[in-house]
Every structure is written in structure tokens, then in C-alpha cells.
């Protein structure tokens, strides 16, 4: 089976979706009689992240015009020659949706789209006018034409139905690689400094974006930190300069400014070392599809604070995470509980998260489930267990 992966980016510019797409591609390519080829738009990190795809062939096209839409005659020409058995699109609301639809019309073959949280209510209301225009001109047609919509959770399935989609859908969670031994000297300098001084770290890791609700998390930390002088809040990630500066100013204006740190973007060994150095993790998002950051925290045996909008309720079920609402005072209550817990209790929470990942979120298992969906779309017969109408 030859599978094409199509995405607006094949680099870290796409945030967690890049790692999801790449890791799934590598896991699929490791299965018998399965080959993956990746297609995407060129950006300033494409060359830097090309080695992460290892042996997977990658084809990229330069963007002409507005980056957010991603119009690319070069990628269009590349896709006009793409001859895979099935195509898997990993994003919505950009020119790659147009290309996926054109590929299906040319080849008569099916394609799958992963929602990646982009049909959740909060996401739809963000840049709402642009998305309404995109829906009108191409996105609804592209979604109606696909063979199957891939969602990670039942919540995502409900959001897709609320958007007007009728299926079929496949519910397959993302996977995560289990962490191994890591040396702390790869972590950012501020993280190493905190650890060297005997401090403890509450970590937020990922894209700096309003939906991540970081401003409320900073406000919450400022409320509870005076009672826990050994704790620091480390925010590691990338994002719009204006938003980042506003967060930094908010932190500077707080009474615990010296214990709120912006570590910048971390990837690869630096990210692994940052996770290994932390003592707790937080993601108080307004909206998520299926956040890789939480799975990585679980894989690193970190106790977690998160909202139900993160759509990883199994973390609550096994006792690996503290459930908080998105408002600052709600987050503060969860932080207070986490910071007041004993090291032994936090380690016990973290062990439950690690166990959850080992049992349910391996990439090999995810790849086998996804390949079964591809085979069903290509060959017919009874749908696999992950498929619902």
C-alpha cells in the first residue's frame, strides 16, 4: 500500500501536528507492505526538520502570496503527479484541502482527513470570517468528498457532526513515543539553573496561542506561588511576537515575576530534557483536538493539570491529572493542590500517566488501526472497529 501524507507544513512550524504526522508516517512505513510519501508547503524550518522524516520521501512546494492560505502552484504541479493508493490530509482551512480534492478528482481514489481539533467550537470561532469564507469556497466541498474523517475523540466526532458532516468517521487517538534516559545538560539554561538551585518546575510546553489560555495560567500561578516559594513556572514554546510580549509583560507585572520564565521554543533533545527536568505539567486550554503535549507529559511520568477541553478524559479516569476549569481562579485551585502535594503523591500520579500511555497510546497500535481504515476504503468489506457512521 502506497500512502501519501499531505500537510501545510512538514516542519515544526505546524506545532504538534508536525510531530503527529511524522511519527504516524514512520510507524506506518515500518509495517509490512506499506510505504509513505510526504507532501507539503515550504517554510523557513523545512530544511532544518527534513532529517526528522528519516527515510520518508518528502516533496515540498513554495508558497505564492499569503502564507496563511498557502497557495502553491509548485505543490499543485507535484500533486498532479502523485500516484499513491490513498491520500491522508492532516489539516483544514488551507490550500492543501483544495489540492486533496483535486487529487481525488484526478485519480478517483479516496482520501482521509484528520480534523486535529479544527472543527471544535472554539477553533471555528477563531478567525470566524475567514473560516466561513473558506467553508463556502472550498472546505465543505473537500470535507464532503473525503472517504473518512479521522477524529481522535468522541468529542471531536460530535463537533464534526455539529458542523454538518455525516461520516463515515474513524475514532483513533494519537500515539506518543515513550521517553528514555535524557541528560539534563540539553535543557534550556533557565531550566538547568532552576534545577541546580533545587527549585521545582511547573511546565507549559507548546505553541503560544490564546486558545492555550496561558494568560489565565500565569494569573493562577501568581495567586498560589507566594505560598510555595520553591516552585517556578516555565513556559516553553513559540508563537506570535505580539502575544508572547503581552504574556511576558503580564508576568513582569505579577508579584512573582522572578519565578515565571519564558524558555523559548524547544525541540528534539532540548524538549526531551525540558520534560525530564519538570515536576508537573499544565495545559489549561480552551480548545484542543488531542494534545500531544499532554501525551508527552504522561510519557515522561509527569502529573498533569488540564481542562476537559483537552479531550484526554482517560487521564482523569486513571488519576493521572487534575481537572480544572479554564478560569484563573479554577486553575489556581488545581495548581494549589498540585504544589501542596507530596513528591511521593506527584510521582504516583505521574506513574499512572506513564502506564496509560504504555497501555493505550503506542504509535504501532495507532498505525495498525489507521492502515486498517485505508485498506477498508480501498477494498471495501466490513469497516474496522474504529469506524462509525
**Among the listed residues 368, 360, 363, 361, the one whose alpha carbon sits nearest the alpha carbon of residue 31:** 368
Q: How many CB atoms lie within 10 A of CB 179?
A: 18
Q: Which residue has the higher pLDDT, 246 or 289?
A: 246
The alpha-helical segments, DSSP class H, found in 166-240 are: 189-196, 214-224
Spatial contact of 28 and 59, defined as CB atoms under 8 Å apart:
no
Q: Tens digit of pLDDT for each residue in 179-223?
A: 677 778 889 999 999 999 999 999 999 989 999 999 999 999 999
Fill in the DSSP letter of residue 91.
-
Q: Tens digit of pLDDT for each residue in 78-90?
A: 999 999 999 999 9
- CA-to-CA separations, 91 to 45, 234, 263, in angstroms, rounded: 18, 29, 28
**Of the listed ranges 108-117, 325-334, 355-364, the one predicted with least confidence:** 355-364
Q: Sort 333 into a burial class: Cβ within 10 Å, 0-12 / 13-18 / 19+.
A: middle
Number of Cα atoms under 13 Å in the Cβ half of residue 181: 0
pLDDT of 187: 93
**Of the listed ranges 51-60, 105-114, 124-133, 216-225, the one predicted with least confidence:** 124-133
Q: What domains appear along the chain, each with residue ranges and CATH number?
A: 2-175+362-388 (3.40.50.2000), 184-360 (3.40.50.2000)
Q: Which residue has the higher pLDDT, 77 or 359?
A: 77
On the question of pLDDT at 122 being above 90, the answer is no
Edge-first strand listing for the sheet containing 231-236: 260-262, 231-236, 200-205, 280-283, 304-306, 321-323
For residue 168, cis peptide bond before it (omega within 30 degrees of 0)? yes
C-alpha cell at 27: 510507524
The rounded distance, in Å, linking the Cα atoms of 221 and 232 is 9
On the question of pLDDT at 167 being above 90, the answer is no
Q: Tens digit of pLDDT for each residue in 137-161?
A: 999 999 999 999 999 989 899 999 9
Q: How confident is residue 15, by pLDDT bands cut at 50, 70 and 90?
A: confident
Strand-pairing partners, residue 41, are 61
pLDDT of 273: 95
Q: What is the pTM of this model?
A: 0.78
- Mean pLDDT for the chain overall: 94
The rounded distance, in Å, linking the Cα atoms of 331 and 85 is 47
On the question of pLDDT at 45 being above 80, the answer is yes
Q: How confident is residue 360, by pLDDT bands cut at 50, 70 and 90?
A: confident
Amino acid at each position: 500500500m502506497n500512502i501519501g501524507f499531505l500537510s501545510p507544513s512538514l516542519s515544526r512550524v505546524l506545532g504538534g501536528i508536525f510531530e503527529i504526522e511524522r511519527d504516524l508516517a514512520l510507524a506506518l512505513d515500518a509495517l509490512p507492505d506499506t510505504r509513505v510519501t510526504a507532501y507539503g508547503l515550504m517554510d523557513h524550518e523545512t530544511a532544518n526538520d527534513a532529517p526528522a522524516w528519516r527515510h520518508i520521501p518528502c516533496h515540498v512546494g513554495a508558497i505564492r502570496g499569503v502564507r496563511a492560505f498557502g497557495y502553491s502552484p509548485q505543490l499543485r504541479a507535484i500533486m498532479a503527479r502523485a500516484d499513491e493508493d490513498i491520500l491522508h490530509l492532516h489539516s483544514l482551512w488551507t490550500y492543501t484541502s483544495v489540492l486533496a480534492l483535486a487529487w481525488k478528482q484526478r485519480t478517483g481514489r479516496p482520501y482521509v482527513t484528520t480534523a486535529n481539533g479544527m472543527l471544535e467550537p472554539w477553533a471555528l470561532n477563531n478567525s470566524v470570517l475567514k473560516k466561513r469564507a473558506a467553508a463556502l469556497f472550498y472546505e465543505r466541498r473537500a470535507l464532503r468528498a473525503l472517504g473518512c474523517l479521522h477524529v481522535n475523540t468522541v468529542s471531536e466526532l460530535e463537533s464534526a457532526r455539529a458542523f454538518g458532516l455525516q461520516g463515515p468517521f474513524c475514532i483513533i487517538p494519537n500515539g506518543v513515543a515513550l521517553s528514555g534516559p535524557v541528560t539534563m545538560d540539553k535543557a534550556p539554561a533557565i531550566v538547568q539553573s532552576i534545577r541546580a538551585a533545587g527549585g521545582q518546575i511547573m511546565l507549559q510546553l507548546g505553541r503560544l496561542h490564546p486558545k492555550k489560555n496561558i494568560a489565565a495560567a500565569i494569573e493562577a500561578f501568581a495567586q498560589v506561588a507566594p505560598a510555595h516559594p520553591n516552585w517556578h513556572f516555565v513556559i516553553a514554546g513559540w508563537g506570535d511576537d505580539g502575544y508572547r510580549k503581552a504574556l511576558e509583560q503580564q508576568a513582569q507585572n505579577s508579584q512573582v515575576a522572578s519565578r515565571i520564565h519564558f524558555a523559548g521554543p524547544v525541540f528534539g533533545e532540548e524538549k526531551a530534557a525540558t520534560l525530564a527536568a519538570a515536576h508537573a505539567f499544565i495545559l489549561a486550554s480552551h480548545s484542543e483536538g488531542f494534545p500531544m503535549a499532554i501525551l508527552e507529559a504522561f510519557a515522561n511520568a509527569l502529573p498533569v493539570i488540564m481542562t476537559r477541553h483537552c479531550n484526554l478524559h482517560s487521564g482523569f479516569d486513571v488519576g493521572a491529572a487534575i481537572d480544572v476549569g479554564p478560569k484563573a481562579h479554577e486553575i489556581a485551585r488545581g495548581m494549589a493542590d498540585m504544589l501542596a502535594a507530596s513528591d511521593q503523591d506527584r510521582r504516583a500520579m505521574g506513574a499512572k500517566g506513564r502506564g496509560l500511555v504504555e497501555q493505550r497510546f503506542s504509535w504501532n497500535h495507532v498505525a495498525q488501526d489507521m492502515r486498517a481504515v485505508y485498506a477498508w476504503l480501498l477494498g471495501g468489506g466490513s469497516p474496522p472497529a474504529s469506524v462509525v457512521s
